[in-house]
Structures are given as structure tokens and as C-alpha cells.
Amino acid sequence: MRRALLFVILAALGCEREMASMMEGGPMDGGSPDALVGMPDRMMPEAGPVDAEPPDVEPDADPNALRVNHMQVRGTNNSYHTNTNPFDLEFRDYYHLPISEQAGEQGIRFFDFDLDPDRRASIVLEPRVSDALDIETICGTWFTCLFELDLWMDENPRHALIVFFIAESWRFNSPPFLFQQLDDLERYAVDALGRDRILSPANVRGEFRTLREAIQQRGWPPTHETQGKVMLVLNDRAEARARYLERGGDDPEDRLLFLIGDPAQAEDPDTGDEVVFSFEPEFDGDPWYFETEPGELERMRELAAAGYLVHGVSDDPQMIADLRAAGAHFVATRYPDDIFGEVPPAGPVACNPVTRPDDCEPAEFEAAPR
């Protein structure tokens, strides 16, 4: 009933794009909230950080169970992108299916989102290249993208863990505004998906001091405990990461976001909660450059073998094969149909060649569609 009501409300607003435009405008410190009047409480951001109690972490009953780091999944790069290409730029000439179709028809279990807050901190989607190059997205705002996925999850409750990489432009990067943006990011995720569908760092850490201790001594959660859930990763190694740690320092149980790690600093003892590593080059002004460097493959293999989750991206079929062989858990591309093809009969999730146990069966991660 709750989800049906939300669907009717979104439909009454016209479409996601109208909703996105309603949520824009007005300065962060005093803009008009009229656009949000009439929305149900679940859609209204509340003040302060998310403070819901995380679920208890049950001790592992089966030490031989398949775990999150034993799987390998398909991903899309810039998962929100639609082909709005007013200047006929070749590097912008691609588009993605709606989120629900990526999850269903293409078997995508890894999504990559760049977010940009408007001046009232309602988080909307926007790529990093230029405002003029992406005036539309496939699903509107961050909330409506997640809500579309939530509806798909309702119909497919036994899906494997879905992972989101989230980067922000952090347009308002002074501490009070940055705190608010981070709080809003978490709040909108909870509003759209529900707290019980988000795998938090506390769920993985359990009784251990750090995430690294948890995965090294106990391992990642068994996959049957993460089916039907989403994992959110803050894809930022600078100011946003520091502020997120600062804001959550007094009560880290409240955090919903995992932190991205620098592969070159994976052995640093002061980064005990970095257990996800990306091998996507940082944007340096060259819009063509999406590829993971071939020279990073051995380091990727080392980190995967050590129990960490790793991500790589390419549009080249041979490099995609190399990423898979190197143990990348999240293998992303801008062209999923061309690169991945149809979902295989064994299902959308594969056994990771570097971390898999000998008796790994892909259908145990997620059954093949009927």
C-alpha cells in the first residue's frame, strides 16, 4: 500500500522530470519549500543525520557460505546518462535504459551516479562534464531513480546485492552545507528504499573494531543475507570523505555509506574502514578517458585476493575480459548491450575467478530469470 501510494503521487506530479524541476530553486538558507508541500512524510527530508538503529548482525552459521566478495557483477558507467548531445560530441553519444530495465533486462547489479545538490540541498543528478551537456537523465532526481529501483526490487526480492557508487560535485563545499548534502544523500536513500534494504558498514563490521578486521577475520556477509539489499559507496577521496568521517565520528553506527579507498594506500593502518577500491581514473579534463589502466590489473588481483571489493571500467571487450580475470567484482561499461550481451542462462551474477570457492555456483548468488 505504501509503495502504491507513492507511485500514485509521482504519477500525479506528471513525471520524474517535473518532480525534479519542482525540487529546484531557492537559496539553501531560505528558499521556498512550497515544492515539497503535500508529499508524504517518507518523501520529506527531516532535519539532522539519519539515526535509525541498524539491524543486529547475526553470527555466521555457515563459514563455508558464498559471500559478497565471491561474486562478479555487471555494471554501467554514468548509469543515469541519456543521449542529450546538442553539440554532437562523440564521447557523449551513448545512453542507458531506465534503471529498472538495466536491472531486469541487462542484469546490471552495479550503478554509477554523479550527484549535484541544488541550492536547497534537494539532490539531483548532473554529470561532471558540463551542465549544458546533460540537461536530462533517464530517471530524474536521485530520489526518483532510487524509487524506480525500489519498485523493481519489490518484484524481484531475491536479487543479488546491488552496489551504487555515488560521487557529488559538492558545489557547496563549506562544512555546514557539505554536512547537509551528505545527510540528504542518506536521507533520500532511506526515504526511497527503506532502511532495511540498505547494507550498512555496521552490518558488515559487527563486533569488530574496523571493517578490515571484520572481512579479514570473519569475511563479508554471506550472499543469502544480502539478497534484496543495496550497498552505497561514497566515491570521494577528498573533502566529502573527510566531512563524512567527521560527522559520523561520534556515532559511526549511523553511517550508511561505505568509503572508497586509494589502491596505493590499501595497507595504511589508519584506513581501516576502506574496503572498496576503484580503478577508474579520476576525471582530469579528458572526457574520453574512462578506461582502467592495464597496468593496474595485478594490483586489482592482489586486493581482490585480500578480501577487498574492487571496481574497474572499460568500453573495450578485451579489457573487460582482463578485468574479469583480475577479479574485479564490479565490471562497468558505457555500452552494456555491446559488451555484455544477454543475461546468461546461469543468471546475472558470475563466480569471481580470483576469490571463488571450488564449489561456487552462480545461481546461488541469484537465480536465473525464468
192-210 pLDDT per residue, tens? 999 999 999 999 999 999 8
**With contact defined as beta carbons under 8 Å apart, do 21 and 136 qualify?**
no
The three cell numbers of residue 200 are 550498512
| CA separation for the pair 219, 64 (Å, rounded) | 10
Low-confidence residues of the chain, pLDDT below 50?
Answer: 1-2, 4-5, 7-59, 61, 86-88, 121, 127-134, 249-250
The β-bridge partners of 162 are: 230
Residues with Cβ within 8 Å of 38's Cβ and at least 6 positions away in sequence, in order, are none
Q: Among 64, 68, 62, 60, which Cα is nearest to 351's?
A: 68
Model pLDDT, residue 240: 74
Helix, strand, coil percentages (3-state) for the chain, rounded to 5, are: 35, 15, 45
Angle at which helix 297-305 crosses helix 317-325, to 10 degrees, equals 30
b/e burial code for range 51-69 (CB count within 10 A of at least 16 → b):
eeebeebeeeeeeebbbbb
| CA separation for the pair 332, 108 (Å, rounded) | 9
| CA separation for the pair 96, 89 (Å, rounded) | 17
| CA separation for the pair 216, 320 (Å, rounded) | 28
Model pLDDT, residue 16: 43
**With contact defined as beta carbons under 8 Å apart, do 234 and 241 qualify?**
yes
Model pLDDT, residue 34: 32
Model pLDDT, residue 135: 52
Q: Among 232, 209, 229, 205, which Cα is nearest to 219's?
A: 205
| CA separation for the pair 283, 17 (Å, rounded) | 27
